C-alpha cells in the first residue's frame, strides 16, 4: 500500500526538505560579443526554447525559454512560425501559454523565441509542439468522476441547526448546462463529505502528541481507540471552540479554533472546455475549486502574515497544521475545505499510488485536479522550490536572513529587492489558534520561487500552475506531496499554483485576487 499514512496529514513537520536537484537545459555558448562603454565585454545571450512537446486539442501548453546572459537587460519575443494560428498569453515573457487548437489530424506548430540585449545581434531558438487530434475515448471531465449521493443519505453528526435533520453528504447532483454558448458541468453540494476513518496508532499518537494536548482535549488525550471507525464529525475528544460547534454539529471532532462546518449550499459551474488564461490571475482566499465529494478546495494561504504587515504570508498547511481534523480539513464560516492532500479522499477515489492518480476534483477554471501520483510509485513534482537565503545565492539576502524578497517569484533571474524584515529561521511564531511553531525556511509563501529549469525538464516536473499536459488527460493540475524520511508531507503549492492556468468565466466560483492585503479567513479558520 503506497497511500500516505494519515498521520502525516495530522502532524506536519515544520522542517521542510528540498527533495529535487536544480537542473537546467543548456545550449552551446555563443562567441558573439561586443564592447560596451565601460570597456567590459557584453557577450550575446544564450537561449534555449525548451523541449518539443506532444499535446492534444484543448490542452494548455506552456512555452518556457531558458536564457543565460551577463545581465538581465534584454527583451524577449515569442512568435509562431508555422501551424494553425494560436494566441500566446504573453509573447514578451520567458514563459507563455496557449491553448492547443482543434485539429482533425496531427499537426506540428513551430515557435521561435528571440532575445535581444540591445548590443549584439538578437539570438533565437525554436521549439516544436505536436498537436494530436482529440480522442473522444480519452479520460476527461466526465460527470462520472463525481461521488453523487443518489439515495438522499444524510450525515449522522452534522445536523441542520434549524431542523435538526442531518445535512446531505457528498454531491447532490451533476448536470450539463449551456450558458452564453459555453458548455458547463453544474455541480450542487452542501459540502459535507462522507469520511469514515479507521483509527490507527499513528493517528492516535498524532492527536495525543499535540503541543497543547492537555488543553486541546477534554481529558488531555483522545477518546478514540485503535481500530475505531470514526464518522465525519464524530467526537474524538477535542474541546471544540469555534462557531457552529455544539452537540448537534460535531463538537469534539474539530480542534479548538476553527469553525465547525454547516450546510453550505453550492451550485458551481465548471466549463467543459477550459481555455488557457490570457492574463495573470492570482487566486485568493475562499474556494478555488471543488473535490469530487463536494468539499471545497482552498489555496495555499490562510490570509495571515508575520506581524500582519502583508509580507511573509503564512502557508496554511504549515501554520494550520494543528487546526485540521483527522482528514486534514476544517471549515471557515461553515465551509468545509482542504488546503492540501488528504488520504481520506484518496481512499474514496481508490488511489493507492500504483498508477497515475485519478481525478480528485476540478479547479474553478475547469481544469481537472489529479492526485499526487504521476505513475506507479512516481510522484508528480512541484517546480516551486525553497529559496537559498545565503548572500552568495541569486535568491539570497546580504545578511543571510529574511531581509529581502524576490522581485518576481516567477522569474528568479530578476534577483531580489529589500523587504520588511521577517523572522529568523529559528524564531518561534504563534499561530492564529495559539500554537507555537518554528518559522523555518518554507514557513512563508515568500520562501518559495518557481524554478523554470525544472519545468523545462518535463516528465514528472510540473509548471508554475502546478500542472502539466499528457497525451491521455490533456492539461491537468496535480496535488503535490513529497517524501521525507519515509513519510509523506504536503509540498507547496499543494493543489493548484498561486495563479489559475485557465480563464475564469463570469459565473465562476472563484475570482482573480485584487492583490490587496487580505485579512484572516472567515471564521478565523
Q: Are residues 487 and 517 in the same domain?
A: yes
For residues 413 and 2, give the distance between their C-alpha atoms in angstroms, rounded to a whole number: 38
Render pLDDT for 10-21 as a digit per residue (tens, 0 to 9): 434 333 333 322
The CATH number given to whatever domain includes residue 112 is 2.60.40.10
When divided into structural domains, the chain yields a total of 2
Residue 363 lies in a domain: yes
Res. 156: pLDDT tops 80: yes
pLDDT band at 142 (very low <50, low <70, confident <90, very high): low
The residue behind cell 537542473 is: 23
pLDDT band at 22 (very low <50, low <70, confident <90, very high): very low
Q: Are residues 322 and 375 in the same domain?
A: yes
Res. 504: pLDDT tops 70: yes
Res. 204: pLDDT tops 90: yes
Render pLDDT for 380-406 as a digit per residue (tens, 0 to 9): 999 999 999 999 999 999 999 999 999
Q: What is the mean pLDDT of residues 124-148?
A: 73
Render pLDDT for 351-365 as a digit per residue (tens, 0 to 9): 999 999 999 999 999
| Residue where a domain stops, chosen among 88, 111, 132 | 132
Render pLDDT for 36-61 as a digit per residue (tens, 0 to 9): 555 556 788 889 998 889 888 777 88
Q: Are residues 96 and 154 in the same domain?
A: no
Per mean pLDDT, which range of 41-45, 139-143, 370-374 is the poorest?
139-143
- Residue with the bigger pLDDT between 258 and 319: it is 319
Beta strands in 10-137 (DSSP E): 33-35, 41-43, 46-48, 53-56, 60-64, 66-68, 75-82, 95-99, 107-116, 123-132
**Predicted pLDDT of residue 123:** 92
Render pLDDT for 242-257 as a digit per residue (tens, 0 to 9): 888 887 778 999 999 8
Q: Tell me the C-alpha to C-alpha distance, in Å, between residue 329 and each of 279, 322, 336, 408.
A: 31, 11, 7, 31
Q: What strand order describes the sheet that includes 467-470?
A: 329-332, 335-338, 296-298, 287-291, 359-363, 368-370, 474-478, 467-470
Q: What is the mean pLDDT of residues 215-237?
A: 96
| Residue where a domain stops, chosen among 132, 151, 184 | 132
Q: Are residues 149 and 120 in the same domain?
A: no
Q: Which three cell numbers stand for residue 189?
A: 453540494
pLDDT band at 451 (very low <50, low <70, confident <90, very high): very high
Does the CA dihedral 337-427-204-2 come out positive or negative?
Answer: positive
Res. 168: pLDDT tops 90: yes
Q: Are residues 190 and 72 in the same domain?
A: no
Average pLDDT, the chain: 86
Residue 321 lies in a domain: yes
| Residue where a domain stops, chosen among 132, 160, 184 | 132
Residue 100 belongs to what domain range? 43-132
Q: Are residues 448 and 328 in the same domain?
A: yes
Residue 216 lies in a domain: no
Residue 355 lies in a domain: yes
Render pLDDT for 57-103 as a digit per residue (tens, 0 to 9): 777 889 998 888 777 788 999 999 998 888 888 889 988 988 888 88
**Predicted pLDDT of residue 144:** 82
Residue 212 lies in a domain: no
> Across the strands, what pairs with 370?
359, 478
Largest CA distance in the chain: 82
For residues 248 and 232, give the distance between their C-alpha atoms in angstroms, rounded to a whole number: 13
Render pLDDT for 276-316 as a digit per residue (tens, 0 to 9): 999 999 998 889 999 999 999 999 998 889 988 888 999 99
Residue 127 lies in a domain: yes
* Environment class of 80 (CB within 10 Å of its CB; exposed 0-12, middle 13-18, buried 19+): middle
> Across the strands, what pairs with 111?
80, 127
Q: Are residues 183 and 54 in the same domain?
A: no
For residues 483 and 501, give the distance between their C-alpha atoms in angstroms, rounded to a whole number: 26
Per mean pLDDT, which range of 110-119, 414-423, 458-467, 516-525 is the poorest?
516-525
Res. 32: pLDDT tops 70: no
**Predicted pLDDT of residue 16:** 32
* Residues 344/452, Cβ–Cβ less than 8 Å: no
Q: Are residues 469 and 440 in the same domain?
A: yes
Q: Are residues 88 and 146 in the same domain?
A: no
**Predicted pLDDT of residue 57:** 79
Res. 524: pLDDT tops 80: no
Distance of CA 185 to the CA centre of its chain: 22
Q: Are residues 336 and 286 in the same domain?
A: yes
Res. 140: pLDDT tops 70: no
Q: Are residues 189 and 296 in the same domain?
A: yes
Res. 426: pLDDT tops 50: yes
Q: Are residues 105 and 145 in the same domain?
A: no
pTM over 0.85? The answer is no
Closest Cα partner for 458 from 86, 61, 78, 112? 61
Burial 308-334 (b: 16+ CB within 10 A, else e): eeebbbbbbbbbbbbbbbbbbbbbbbb
Amino acid at each position: 500500500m503506497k497511500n500516505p499514512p494519515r498521520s502525516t496529514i495530522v502532524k506536519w513537520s515544520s522542517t521542510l526538505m528540498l527533495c529535487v536537484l536544480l537542473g537546467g537545459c543548456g545550449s552551446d555558448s555563443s562567441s558573439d560579443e561586443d564592447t560596451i562603454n565601460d570597456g567590459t565585454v557584453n557577450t550575446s545571450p544564450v537561449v534555449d526554447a525548451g523541449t518539443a512537446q506532444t499535446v492534444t486539442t484543448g490542452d494548455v501548453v506552456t512555452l518556457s525559454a531558458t536564457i543565460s546572459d551577463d545581465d538581465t537587460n534584454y527583451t524577449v519575443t515569442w512568435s509562431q512560425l508555422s501551424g494553425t494560428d494560436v494566441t500566446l498569453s504573453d509573447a514578451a515573457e520567458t514563459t507563455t501559454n496557449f491553448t492547443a487548437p482543434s485539429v482533425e489530424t496531427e499537426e506540428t506548430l513551430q515557435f521561435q523565441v528571440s532575445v535581444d540585449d540591445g548590443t549584439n545581434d538578437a539570438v533565437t531558438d525554436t521549439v516544436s509542439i505536436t498537436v494530436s487530434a482529440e480522442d473522444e475515448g480519452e479520460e476527461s471531465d466526465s460527470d462520472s468522476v463525481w461521488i453523487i449521493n443518489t439515495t438522499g443519505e444524510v450525515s449522522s453528526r452534522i445536523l441542520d441547526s434549524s431542523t435538526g435533520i442531518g445535512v446531505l453528504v457528498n454531491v447532490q447532483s451533476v448536470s450539463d448546462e449551456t450558458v452564453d454558448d459555453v458548455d458547463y458541468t453544474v455541480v450542487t453540494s452542501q459540502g459535507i463529505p462522507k469520511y469514515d476513518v479507521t483509527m490507527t496508532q499513528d493517528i492516535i499518537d498524532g492527536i495525543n502528541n499535540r503541543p497543547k494536548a492537555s488543553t486541546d482535549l477534554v481529558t488531555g488525550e483522545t477518546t478514540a481507540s485503535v481500530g475505531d471507525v470514526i464518522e465525519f464529525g464524530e467526537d474524538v475528544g477535542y474541546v471544540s471552540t469555534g462557531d457552529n460547534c455544539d452537540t448537534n454539529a460535531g463538537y469534539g471532532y474539530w480542534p479548538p479554533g476553527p469553525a465547525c462546518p454547516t450546510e453550505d449550499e453550492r451550485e458551481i459551474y465548471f466549463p467543459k472546455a477550459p481555455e488557457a488564461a490570457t492574463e495573470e490571475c492570482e487566486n485568493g482566499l475562499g474556494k478555488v475549486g471543488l473535490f469530487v465529494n463536494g468539499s471545497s478546495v482552498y489555496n495555499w494561504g490562510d490570509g495571515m502574515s508575520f506581524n500582519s504587515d502583508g509580507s511573509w504570508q503564512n502557508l496554511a498547511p504549515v501554520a494550520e497544521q494543528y487546526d485540521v481534523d483527522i482528514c486534514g480539513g476544517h471549515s471557515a464560516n461553515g465551509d468545509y475545505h482542504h488546503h492540501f492532500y488528504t488520504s481520506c479522499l484518496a481512499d474514496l477515489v481508490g488511489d493507492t499510488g500504483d498508477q497515475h492518480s485519478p481525478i480528485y476534483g476540478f479547479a474553478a477554471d475547469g481544469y481537472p485536479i489529479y492526485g499526487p501520483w504521476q505513475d506507479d510509485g512516481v510522484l508528480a513534482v512541484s517546480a516551486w522550490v525553497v529559496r537559498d537565503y545565503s548572500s552568495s545565492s541569486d535568491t539570497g539576502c546580504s545578511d543571510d536572513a529574511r531581509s529581502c524578497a524576490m522581485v518576481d517569484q516567477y522569474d528568479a533571474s530578476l534577483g531580489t529587492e529589500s523587504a520588511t524584515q521577517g523572522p529568523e529561521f529559528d524564531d518561534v511564531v504563534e499561530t492564529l489558534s495559539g500554537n507555537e511553531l518554528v518559522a523555518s525556511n518554507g514557513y512563508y509563501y515568500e520562501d518559495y520561487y518557481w524554478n523554470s529549469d525544472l519545468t523545462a525538464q518535463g516528465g514528472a516536473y510540473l509548471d508554475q500552475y502546478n500542472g502539466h499536459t499528457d497525451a491521455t488527460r490533456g492539461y491537468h493540475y496535480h496535488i503535490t506531496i513529497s517524501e521525507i524520511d519515509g513519510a509523506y508531507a504536503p509540498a507547496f503549492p499543494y493543489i493548484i499554483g498561486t495563479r489559475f492556468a485557465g480563464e475564469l468565466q463570469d459565473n465562476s466560483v472563484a475570482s482573480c485576487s485584487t492583490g490587496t492585503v487580505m485579512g484572516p479567513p472567515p471564521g478565523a479558520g
